[in-house]
C-alpha cells in the first residue's frame, strides 16, 4: 500500500520532468547536466558577457521560495461558508504564497483569468514577510500581530516588494489555462518594476497592453506635495500563451450615416474604354451631377484612395493601376462594372478635382452582406472617474481603501474572454473586500453563467480606529465574506433567481493534519508513529479528507457523498473516482462496501489511514481483496 506524500507540487521536479521529455540525454540520476544542455541548444545559447538582466537582492532566494513545496493544508470551515453542499466557489483565508503552493496540483492550468490588486508599495500598505525556513509558522505569527508598512526610509524599499511579488507570480502562472490571462492593477510607483517582473515570468511576447484607467478628476488633490497630479492608474495585462484569443468589442455597423452621396448621369458617356477586360464608361464633369443628400440606403459612400487603401483592396488597386497616372482629366468620372459587393453592379471612380489634390476617390453602395456589428479592438484607456468616485457605496461593507468598482472588473472580464466562457474560473489572491467575487456573481446574472471564483486573502487585522473594526469586522477576511453573502442575497432579492451560485466554501490555511507531514513533529522517532495514530488529535476526518484531495490533485469543490456503514463513514469523491475511509478499526465488511461503490466504467483510487485497520491481518486481506476486485491503486496516510 503506497504511502501518500504530504507535500504540495514540487515545481523543480516538474520542470526536470519536462526537460527530460524534451532532452532525455541531459538528465543523469535525476539532475540536469547543464553542459550537455548547452551543447544541444547550440547557437541558441547566449554567450555574451554583457546582457540585459532584471535582478535585485534576494531574487534567487525568492525563486527558491516559490520552488519549495508547502507542508501546510487548507482546513474546511463550514460555519463561515454559504451553500456548502452546492457551491463551486472558494474563499480561502491565508498567506497567498502558501495557498498558491497548495492549489498547484488541484488547479494546475485550470484558471481562465487571474486578477490581482496587490499592495502598491506606497509606504503605507502591507508587505508580506516571507520566511524561507518555515512559511506556515511565520504565517501564524504574522496574523497575530499588526502588519507593518514598508516605508521609503527602508533601504530595501523596492527590493522587499519585488521579493514578495516574484514567487507569487511564478506560482500563479502555473494555475493559468493556456488560453488564460492575468490582469494586475498598479500605480506609477512600482509600474516599471512590475512590468519587468511580468516580462520575466510570462515572457515579453505575452504582454498584451498597459491599460490606463482614469480614476479621479484633475481638481481632486490627494497629496499637495506632488509635482504632477495623479489621475490615472494602470492594469498590466499578460496572456499565458498564444492560445489566448484577443477578444474585440462589437461596434454597431448598421448605421448608414456615411451614405450621403448621389451621382446622376446627365448625358451618355463621352467614351467607353477598356481597362483590365472591363468596359469602362467615362464622363466629363459636365456629364454628371454629384449631390450630397440625407443618409439613405440608396445613396453612395465616398472613400478617399490614400495610404494602405491604395493596395489594401481591389478598388484601390484598380485605381492605382489604371487611373492614377492619367494626365489632366481633373474631376472625370469612371463607371467600372462588376466591382464590389453592394446593391449596385458597378463602382464610380473620380479623378482629383485639381492638380493640387493628389488622391482620387471612389463611391460605393451599401454592401449586400453588411453586418449589423463589426469587431474592433478595445482601447487601452478607459475613463472611470464617476465609477471610482462611487465605489465606496458598493458591496454594503465598510472598507475605505482598495475597493475596485464592479464596472471596472466586469470590463476586465470581457477583455479576458469570459463572455464566451460561461464556466471559467477567476482567481484573485489579493482579494481584499472581495470585489472580484461580487463582480463575477453579477456578471453571471446577465447570462446565467456558471463562472466560479477563488478568493484568497490574508486575515489582516483591521485598525481598531477604523470604521470596519467598529462595525465588528476584526480582519479583512470577515469583510470579504460578508460582502459576498450580502451581494448574493441582494441578487436573489432583486431578481428572484434561485439557480445562480451565490455561495462559497471557506477554507483556512493551517499546518498539516498529519504529524509525519508537519515539520514541527517530523523529528519524532519512527517507532512512536507505529504505536499511535499519526493524525493530530484536534483535527477531524473532514480536515484530513480535504488535505488528501489537495495532495492528489482533486479540486476542493468536487461532489462528495458520505456513505455510512455500521456508524463508520466512507467518502465517495467524484462519483467513485476516489473512495476514502479515514476511520479506525476498519474491518472487511467496510472494505466490501467500498468495492460496491466502485464504478464499473473507470478505476477508483482508495485511501485509508495507515493505522486505521482492525489489525495487520485485516489490512493484508483488505489490500488483496481490493486487488481481486480491480482496485489496484490503494494508498495510506
Determine the pLDDT at residue 465. Answer: 87
Contacts for 407 with CB less than 8 Å, ≥ 6 apart: 384, 387
Return the sign of the alpha-carbon dihedral for residues 442, 84, 90, 140: positive
Q: State the cell numbers at 22.
A: 524534451
Paired with 608 in beta bridges are 581, 636
Spell out the residues 6+ positions from residue 236 whose beta carbon is closer than 8 angstroms to its own.
183, 184, 186, 191, 194, 195, 198, 207, 210, 211
Instruction: Give CA separation, 381 vs 193, 232, 283, in Å.
Output: 21, 10, 48
Does the pLDDT of residue 9 top 80, yes or no?
no
* Residues 252, 270 contacting (CB under 8 angstroms): no
Report the percentage of the chain scoring pLDDT > 90. Answer: 63
Which of 24-33, 48-57, 399-408 shows the lowest per-residue confidence on average (mean pLDDT)? Answer: 24-33
Q: H-helix or E-strand containing 348?
A: strand 346-350
Helix (H, G, I), strand (E, B) or coil at 371: coil
Q: Which of 574, 624, 596, 446 is nearest to 1 (CA)?
A: 624
In angstroms, the CA 153 to CA 173 distance is 32
Q: What is the per-residue pLDDT for 525?
A: 42
pLDDT tens column, 510-527? 999 988 766 665 443 443
Of 165-174, 176-185, 215-224, 402-411, the poorest mean pLDDT is in 215-224
pLDDT at 482: 96
Residue 251 confidence (pLDDT) above 70: no
How much is the mean pLDDT over the chain?
A: 87
To the nearest whole percent, how much of the chain has pLDDT over 70?
Answer: 86
Please say if the pLDDT value at position 171 is more than 50: yes
Give mean pLDDT, residues 497-522: 86
Q: How far apart are CA 77 and CA 86, in angstroms?
A: 15
pLDDT of residue 565: 93
- What is the pLDDT averaged over residues 284-303? 95
Which of the four pLDDT bands, split at 50, 70 and 90, describes residue 412? very high
Nearest to 95 by CA among 140, 161, 159: 140
Is the pTM for the entire model greater than 0.75? yes
Q: Where are the domains of the chain?
A: 11-63, 71-250+378-511, 259-365, 533-636
Q: What is the DSSP letter of 617?
A: H
Residues 6+ away with beta carbon under 8 Å from 444: 422, 450, 451, 500, 501
Residue keyed to cell 555574451:
48
What does the pLDDT read at residue 272?
Answer: 96
**pLDDT value of residue 130:** 67
- CATH no. for 71-250+378-511: 3.40.50.150
Task: State residue 530's pLDDT score.
Answer: 42
- Tell me how far apart the alpha carbons of residues 492 and 102 are, in angstroms, rounded to a whole number: 33
Contact 115, 146 (CB under 8 A): no
Per DSSP, the three-state class of 37 is helix
SS3 content of the chain, % helix, strand, coil (to 5): 35, 25, 45
Q: Across-strand partners of 452?
A: 425
Burial class (CB in 10 A: 0-12, 13-18, 19+), 410: middle
Return the C-alpha torsion angle 464, 467, 472, 475, nearest 10.
Answer: -60
505's enclosing H/E stretch is strand 505-511
All three cell numbers of 355, joined, read: 492638380
SS3 for 68-126 is CCCCEEEEECHHHCECCCCCCCEEEECCHHHHHHHCHHHHCCCEEEEEECCCCCCCCCE
Please report the pLDDT score of residue 166 as a whole number: 97
The pLDDT of residue 519? 61
The DSSP output letter for 57 is T
Does residue 603 sit in helix, strand or coil? coil
Chain Cα centroid distance, residue 473: 29
φ, ψ for residue 328 (rounded to 5)? 55, -135
In whole angstroms, give the CA distance from residue 438 to residue 410: 10
**More reliable by pLDDT, 191 or 222:** 191
Residue of 631, 635, 588, 593 lying closest to 613 (CA atoms): 588
Question: Could you give the angle at which helices 11-22 and 59-67 cross, rounded to 10 degrees?
Answer: 90
Whether 372 shows a pLDDT value over 70: the answer reads no
Q: What pLDDT does 552 receive?
A: 95
The answer, yes or no, to whether residue 151 has pLDDT greater than 60, is no
Residue with cell 443618409: 295
The C-alpha cell 463561515 sits at 80
State residue 543's pLDDT score. Answer: 97
Pairing of strands 560-565, 568-573: antiparallel
Q: What is the 3 state secondary structure string of 402-455?
A: CCCCHHHHHHHHHHCCHHHCCCCEEEECCCCCCHHHHHHHHHHHHHCCCCEEEE
| Cell numbers placing 159 | 527590493
Task: Name the pLDDT band for 393 (thresholds 50, 70, 90).
Answer: low
How far is residue 400's CA from residue 502's CA, in Å, rounded to a whole number?
Answer: 24
Q: Give the mean pLDDT of 485-500.
A: 94
For strands 373-376 and 249-252, give the pairing: antiparallel
The set of cell numbers assigned to 409 is: 472588473
Give me the mean pLDDT over the 88-114 stretch: 98
**β-strand pairing of 27-28 with 31-32:** antiparallel
Q: Give the residue among 564, 546, 562, 544 at the shortest CA–CA distance from 554.
A: 546
Tell me which residue of 117, 137, 278 sits closest to 184, measured CA to CA: 117
485 pLDDT more than 70: yes
pLDDT category of residue 455 using cuts at 50, 70 and 90: very high
Residue 158 has which C-alpha cell?
Answer: 523596492
Could you report the per-residue pLDDT of 70-92, keeping only the tens digit for each?
989 999 999 999 999 999 999 99
The pLDDT of residue 524 is: 39
Under DSSP, the state recorded for 526 is H
* Cell (9 digits) for 20: 527530460
* 473 in Cβ contact with 498 (< 8 Å): no
Q: For position 140, what pLDDT does the model report?
A: 65
- The pLDDT score that the predictor gives to residue 124 is 57
Q: How confident is the model at residue 430 (pLDDT cuts 50, 70, 90)?
A: very high
What pLDDT score was predicted for residue 309?
83
In whole angstroms, what is the distance from residue 313 CA to residue 48 CA? Answer: 46
Residue 455 bridge partners (DSSP): 91, 428
List residues bridging with 508 in a β-sheet: 75, 93
The most confident of 21-30, 107-116, 335-344, 369-378, by mean pLDDT: 107-116
Amino acid at each position: 500500500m503506497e504511502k501518500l506524500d504530504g507535500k504540495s507540487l514540487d515545481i523543480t521536479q516538474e520542470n526536470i520532468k519536462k526537460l527530460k521529455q524534451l532532452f532525455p540525454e541531459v538528465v543523469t540520476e535525476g539532475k540536469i547536466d547543464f553542459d550537455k544542455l548547452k551543447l544541444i541548444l547550440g547557437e541558441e545559447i547566449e554567450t555574451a558577457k554583457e546582457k540585459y538582466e532584471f535582478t535585485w537582492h534576494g531574487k534567487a532566494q525568492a525563486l527558491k521560495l516559490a520552488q519549495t513545496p508547502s507542508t501546510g493544508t487548507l482546513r474546511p470551515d463550514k460555519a463561515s461558508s454559504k451553500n456548502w453542499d452546492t457551491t463551486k466557489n472558494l474563499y480561502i483565508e491565508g498567506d497567498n504564497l502558501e495557498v498558491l503552493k497548495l492549489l498547484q496540483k488541484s488547479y494546475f492550468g485550470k484558471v481562465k483569468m487571474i486578477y490581482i490588486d496587490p499592495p502598491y508599495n506606497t509606504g503605507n500598505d502591507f508587505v508580506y514577510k516571507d520566511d524561507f525556513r518555515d512559511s506556515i509558522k511565520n504565517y501564524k505569527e504574522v496574523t497575530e500581530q499588526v502588519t507593518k508598512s514598508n516605508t521609503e526610509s527602508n533601504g530595501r524599499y523596492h527590493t522587499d516588494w519585488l521579493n514578495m511579488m516574484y514567487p507569487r507570480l511564478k506560482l500563479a502562472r502555473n494555475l493559468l489555462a493556456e488560453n488564460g490571462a492575468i490582469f494586475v492593477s498598479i500605480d506609477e510607483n512600482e509600474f516599471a518594476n512590475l512590468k519587468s517582473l511580468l516580462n520575466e515570468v510570462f515572457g515579453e511576447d505575452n504582454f498584451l497592453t498597459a491599460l490606463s484607467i482614469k480614476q479621479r478628476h484633475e481638481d481632486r488633490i490627494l497629496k499637495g506635495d506632488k509635482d504632477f497630479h495623479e489621475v490615472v492608474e494602470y492594469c498590466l495585462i499578460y496572456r499565458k500563451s498564444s492560445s489566448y484569443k484577443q477578444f474585440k468589442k462589437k461596434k454597431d455597423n448598421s448605421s448608414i450615416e456615411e451614405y450621403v452621396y448621389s451621382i446622376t448621369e446627365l448625358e451618355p458617356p463621352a467614351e467607353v474604354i477598356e481597362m483590365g477586360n472591363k468596359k469602362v464608361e467615362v464622363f466629363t464633369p459636365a456629364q454628371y451631377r454629384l449631390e450630397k443628400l440625407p443618409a439613405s440606403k440608396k445613396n453612395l459612400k465616398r472613400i478617399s484612395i490614400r495610404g494602405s487603401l491604395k493596395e489594401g483592396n481591389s478598388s484601390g488597386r484598380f485605381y492605382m493601376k489604371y487611373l492614377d497616372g492619367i494626365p489632366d482629366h481633373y474631376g472625370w468620372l469612371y463607371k467600372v462594372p462588376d466591382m464590389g459587393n453592394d446593391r449596385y453592379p458597378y463602382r464610380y471612380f473620380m479623378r482629383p478635382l485639381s492638380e493640387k489634390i493628389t488622391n482620387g476617390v471612389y463611391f460605393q453602395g451599401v454592401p449586400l452582406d453588411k453586418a449589423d456589428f463589426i469587431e474592433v479592438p478595445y482601447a487601452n484607456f478607459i475613463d472611470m472617474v464617476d465609477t471610482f468616485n462611487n465605489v465606496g457605496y458598493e458591496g454594503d461593507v465598510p472598507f475605505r481603501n482598495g475597493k475596485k468598482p464592479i464596472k471596472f472588473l466586469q470590463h476586465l472580464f470581457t477583455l479576458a474572454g469570459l463572455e464566451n466562457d460561461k464556466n471559467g474560473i477567476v482567481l484573485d489572491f489579493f482579494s481584499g473586500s472581495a470585489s472580484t467575487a461580487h463582480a463575477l456573481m453579477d456578471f453571471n446574472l446577465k447570462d446565467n453563467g456558471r463562472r466560479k471564483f477563488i478568493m484568497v486573502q490574508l486575515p489582516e487585522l483591521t485598525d481598531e480606529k477604523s470604521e470596519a473594526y467598529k462595525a465588528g469586522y476584526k480582519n479583512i477576511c470577515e469583510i470579504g465574506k460578508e460582502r459576498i453573502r450580502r451581494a448574493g442575497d441582494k441578487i436573489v432579492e432583486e431578481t428572484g433567481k434561485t439557480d445562480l451560485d451565490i455561495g462559497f466554501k471557506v477554507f483556512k490555511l493551517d499546518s498539516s493534519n498529519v504529524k509525519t507531514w508537519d515539520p514541527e513533529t517530523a523529528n519524532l522517532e519512527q517507532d512512536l508513529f507505529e504505536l499511535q495514530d499519526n493524525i493530530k488529535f484536534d483535527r477531524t476526518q473532514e480536515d484530513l479528507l480535504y488535505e488528501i484531495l489537495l495532495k492528489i490533485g482533486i479540486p476542493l469543490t468536487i461532489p462528495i457523498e458520505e456513505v455510512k456503514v455500521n456508524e463508520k463513514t466512507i467518502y465517495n469523491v467524484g462519483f467513485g473516482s476516489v473512495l476514502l475511509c479515514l476511520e479506525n478499526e476498519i474491518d472487511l465488511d467496510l472494505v466490501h462496501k467500498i468495492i460496491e461503490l466502485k464504478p464499473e466504467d473507470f478505476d477508483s483510487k482508495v485511501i485509508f489511514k495507515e493505522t486505521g485497520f482492525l489489525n495487520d491481518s485485516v489490512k493484508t486481506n483488505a489490500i488483496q481483496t481490493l486487488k481481486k476486485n480491480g482496485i489496484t491503486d490503494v494508498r495510506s496516510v
